[in-house]
Amino acid sequence: MNPDGVHLDSLAVHAGRQPKARDPLSPPIVQTAVHVYESLDDYDLVASGEIEGHYYGRNSNETTAHLESAVAALEGAAAALATSSGMSALLVSILALCPRPAPLLVPLDVYGTTLGLLRQDLAPLGYEARIVDPADLAGLERQLDGAGLLICETITNPLCRVPDLPAIAELARRAGVPLLVDNTFATPILCRPLEHGATAVVHSATKYLGGHSDLVAGVVAGAEPFVGQARGRSIRFGTTLGPFEAWLALRGLRTLGLRVRRQSANADILARALPSLPGVTAVHRPSGEVVSRLLPDGAGGMLAFDLDGGRPAVQRLLDRLQLVHFAASLGGVETTVSHPELTSHRGLTPAEREQLGISAGTVRVSTGIEAPEDIVADFTRALAS
């Protein structure tokens, strides 16, 4: 339940828009690039931000603004910005929070493309990607000195580790370093990082917020000055979100509470079943005191497991799965598996993957909303000797 007394499940359905009499119940798609004006003064007032309105699709759109308001409400943020992908949301957030080159602190087990962005694109501009261990609070505190930004994830990809977000946020606050949290895996249904001290939150809305594997989008949420700075960059970079994708995300958002709770429960059931199946040597699922404190309503729909036999064993699994499919994404209504070595973390060196515990036999699972018995049965059949 949020501070206004409305359950988040209800907020996901209604946030961002209150239909008036004779309005369509379903949010409309305002599919336009430009708006018509007859008065120069009126256009000037809208373009300068003195009054609300829309004039050019790269700057704003009614459908996209509805999505932004809805996500801001769900995250408990003053404002939000929708972008063309999770990575573009991350980029404009980094540059808004740390506009000049400085060390960027990031865990090694952050999403692989996030690390690639820091190393391949921002490092040549003078930024330094500095690897930190969020579990080592004393070491993290030392590395915060002189840093420009700290980036972490609520639940890490793919091994589902959960950092102590309130403790990390307090260290960052004392050091005067902004904290940017990728909340894609948890969603605001399970965790609202701003309430734990984060400066800003970013999502790949492609995943759980959209929830149907049919759009690519990102969202940034935080204080109004920060979101305004991120928005300016998004407008100039051309990374704003189109109205149709925004409408798809809004449609998915309405069932977010139902989907996330079912997916989280299914992941728990599958995680309990996997250790007894042939070839499974380890199961990675959030657990422990930090998890129960930070994620009291569920640990999300993600897990990973290690198979004895490496890549051939993973291919055998894929060949035998019937209900579950291999797909290099997550968060949809259907259960999928991925192979981090080849997909999300292929940009890391073999030594870095080994350091993280990602092997050729590591399989990441995104549980969907199917009957849990069918999910377990598919893995049981596929892993049978």
Q: Are strands 149-153 and 128-132 parallel, antiparallel or unpaired?
A: unpaired
Q: At residue 310, what is the residue type?
A: G
CA distance 54 to 35: 7
Distance CA 319, CA 64 (A): 40
Considering the domain architecture, whether residues 43 and 171 belong to the same structural domain is answered as yes
Any idea what the CATH number is for the domain that residue 227 is in?
3.40.640.10
Are 341 and 372 found together in one domain? yes
Confidence of residue 5 (pLDDT cuts 50, 70, 90): confident
Range from 50-54, 224-228, 303-307 carrying the lowest mean pLDDT: 50-54
- Residue 191: is its pLDDT beyond 80? yes
Which of 238, 253, 268 terminates a domain? The answer is 253
Phi, psi for 331 (deg, rounded to 5): 85, 5
Gap between the Cα atoms of 262 and 8, Å rounded? 15
- Residue 347: domain span: 258-383
State the CATH number of the domain containing residue 306: 3.90.1150.10
Question: What pLDDT shows up at residue 105?
Answer: 98
Residue 76 is assigned to a structural domain of this protein: yes
Mean pLDDT of the chain: 95
Question: What's residue 385's pLDDT?
Answer: 82
Residue 139 in domain: yes
Domain presence at residue 1: no
The stretch 185-206 carries a mean pLDDT of 98
246 and 262 in a single domain? The answer is no
pLDDT of residue 159: 93
Which of left, alpha, beta for 29 (phi over 0: left; psi -120 to 50: alpha)?
beta
Assigned domain for 3 exists: no
Residues 120 and 195 in one domain: yes
Q: Which of 14-28, 160-174, 316-330 has the lowest mean pLDDT?
A: 14-28
Residue 3 reports pLDDT greater than 60: no
Q: 166 with 302, same domain?
A: no
Same domain, 236 and 277: no
User: Region 284-313: what's the mean pLDDT?
Assistant: 96
Is the residue at 295 inside a domain? yes
Is residue 2 situated within a structural domain?
no
Q: Residues 195-215: what's their mean pLDDT?
A: 98
- Predicted TM-score (pTM) of the model is 0.95
Q: Are residues 248 and 130 in the same domain?
A: yes
249 and 262 part of one domain: no
3-state secondary structure of 139: helix
- Give pLDDT tens digits for 126-179: 999 999 999 999 999 999 999 999 999 999 999 999 999 999 999 999 999 999
Contacts of 120 (CB under 8 A, 6+ apart): none
Among 219, 238, 253, residue at a domain's last position: 253
Share of the chain above pLDDT 70, in %: 99
List, by residue number, the catalytic residues. Answer: 58, 111, 182, 207
Cα separation of 116 and 288, whole Å? Answer: 30
pLDDT in tens, 254-277: 999 999 999 999 999 999 999 999
Last residue in a domain, options 203, 234, 253: 253
Based on the domain organization, do 232 and 365 belong to the same domain?
no
Residues 94 and 172 in one domain: yes
Indicate if 356 and 279 belong to the same structural domain: yes
In total, how many domains does the chain have?
Answer: 2
Percent of the chain with pLDDT over 90: 91
Burial classification of residue 128, based on how many CB atoms lie within 10 Å of its CB (0-12 exposed, 13-18 middle, 19 or more buried): middle
Q: Side by side, which strands form the sheet with 103-107?
A: 79-83, 218-222, 200-204, 179-182, 149-153, 103-107, 128-132
**What is the rounded distance in angstroms from the CA atom of residue 270 to the CA atom of residue 84?**
33
- Residue 27 pLDDT > 60, yes or no? yes
Which pLDDT tens digit goes with each residue over 108-124? 989 989 999 999 999 99
Alpha carbon of residue 253 to chain centroid: 14
Average pLDDT over residues 311-340: 97
Verify that 213 and 269 share a domain, yes or no.
no
- What confidence score (pLDDT) does residue 18 get? 86
